[in-house]
Amino acid sequence: MPTEEPLMTDDTTDDAELASTYDADAADIEYMFAQTARELGVAGGRLTLHGAAASTLWFSDRPQRLTGHLPTSEFVANWDVGDDSFAADPPNGLLSIFEDDAVNDVVVVLRQPRLDGDDLSYSFEVTEGELAPSTGPTSLFIDTIGRPLSPGSVAGVRRRGGRRGRRRMRRRVR
């Protein structure tokens, strides 16, 4: 999520320093994000991560392989910062919802985040799967800006895996 200020909150480095370490331009670093919560609510056109972690984890794609975290409040506050913000180009997300012995994966487009205490909500659109409230732990993986459903994105990997599974089934049927 490009901003005027680096998103990282530690005092040891910033995007430019990390980029120089890995011989990359700071603008070329693409961040992906992960958020976790105690449970998932769905109501009024919003999905809510109840008991959301205070930190949002971030990581970058190859070749840099950078990792870190920032306060979830800062993640939400930076949603609409910059020309290529998540507000301008809403990200895809992969919700992994854990129930008993099963995991339900749902691909969504995320918009308009709100943080109220430890409840983090988004307006959303489901693009793949079925979404229902859950009392199980939930993880949300958010794709990089400008790469919706690319083969290397979290949601893109999910879509590619689904296609591969369908192809395997067709081969077995033949």
Residue 51 has pLDDT above 50, yes or no: yes
Q: What is the CA radius of gyration of the chain?
A: 17
Paired tokens of 104: 């339900």
- pTM, two decimal places: 0.71
More confident residue, 101 or 106: 106
| Domain residue ranges of the chain, discontinuous segments joined by + | 15-147
At 72 the three-state DSSP class reads helix
In sequence order, the 6+-apart residues with CB closer than 8 A to the CB of 106 are: 94, 95, 97, 126, 128, 129, 130, 131
Mean pLDDT, the chain, rounded, equals 78
| Chain-centre distance for alpha carbon 15 | 19
The CB density around residue 23, as the number of other CB atoms within 10 Å, is 8
- HSE-up of 117 (CA within 13 Å, CB side)? 4
Residue 10 has pLDDT above 80, yes or no: no
Give pLDDT, residue 9: 45
Residue 151 has pLDDT above 90, yes or no: no
Give pLDDT, residue 174: 53
Give pLDDT, residue 19: 44
Confidence grade of residue 158 (pLDDT, cut at 50, 70, 90):
very low
Q: Which of 39, 95, 33 is nearest to 59 (CA)?
A: 33
Percent helix, strand, coil in the chain (nearest 5)? 20, 40, 40
More confident residue, 74 or 154: 74
pLDDT digits (tens, 9 = 90+) for 62-105: 777 889 999 999 999 999 998 889 999 999 999 999 988 889 99
CA dist 65 → 59, 121, 140 (Å): 7, 28, 19
Residue 32 has pLDDT above 60, yes or no: yes
Residue 14 has pLDDT above 80, yes or no: no
